[in-house]
């Protein structure tokens, strides 16, 4: 029990030339098997979802998403996160890792129901290091991918 956090990348593709510029629809259809019943003329589309990030009790990262992507609502629902917000969070993490004294100002810890420690300790900074790796990798994905954050506690 506690705060679990997920970042997902999602991409929609169909056999429409607009969505299938890279040939992804055909590749996925072949990988899934050509006899897949749901890929009919009425519904010729595939949505792909990849979990690109996972945190455990990184309450400072959670609070960033709540404040900047969820309009202050902390309700365990899935929320869209634009690339600008991911880039901003990446920059904040790097600033705090470079100067630990900025932690409380830039990415303050948050208390909550089994959210983990609110101390600026090894666990806190480890969460920032993990976040840098997650976000750098996610932001390498092409612009057709959309990102969503969800927490569970």
Q: How far apart are CA 102 and CA 97, in angstroms?
A: 9
Answer whether residue 111 is part of any domain: yes
Please indicate whether residue 143 or residue 20 has the higher confidence score (pLDDT): 143
pLDDT tens for residues 30-45?
787 765 555 666 667 7
Answer whether residue 15 is part of any domain: no
Q: How confident is the model at residue 150 (pLDDT cuts 50, 70, 90)?
A: very high
What is the per-residue pLDDT for 24?
75
How many structural domains does the chain have? 1
Residues 6+ apart with CB under 8 A from 16: 44
Answer whether residue 74 is part of any domain: yes
Answer whether residue 93 is part of any domain: yes
Answer whether residue 10 is part of any domain: no
Answer whether residue 143 is part of any domain: yes
What is the per-residue pLDDT for 104?
97
Which ranges constitute the DSSP H helices of 5-82? 24-32, 59-69
What is the per-residue pLDDT for 40?
61
Answer whether residue 65 is part of any domain: yes
Answer whether residue 125 is part of any domain: yes
How confident is the model over 106-112, as a mean pLDDT?
91
Q: Quick one: which of 128, 150, 152, 148 has its CA closest to 138?
A: 148
Whether 68 shows a pLDDT value over 90: the answer reads yes
Range of the domain at 61: 52-152
């Amino acid at each position: 029990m506690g705060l679990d956090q997920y970042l997902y990348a999602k991409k929609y593709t169909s056999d429409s030339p607009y969505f299938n510029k890279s040939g992804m629809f055909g590749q996925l259809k072949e990988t899934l098997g050509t006899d897949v019943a749901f890929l009919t003329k009425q519904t010729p589309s595939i949505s792909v979802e990849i979990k690109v990030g996972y945190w455990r009790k990184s309450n400072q990262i959670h609070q960033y998403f709540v404040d900047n992507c969820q309009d202050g609502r902390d309700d365990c629902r899935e929320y869209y996160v634009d690339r600008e917000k991911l880039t901003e969070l990446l920059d904040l993490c790097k600033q705090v890792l470079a100067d630990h004294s900025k932690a409380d100002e830039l990415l303050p810890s948050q208390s909550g129901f089994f959210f983990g420690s609110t101390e600026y300790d090894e666990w806190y900074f480890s969460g920032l290091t993990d976040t840098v790796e997650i976000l750098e990798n996610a932001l390498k994905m092409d612009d057709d991918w959309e990102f969503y954050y969800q927490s569970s506690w």
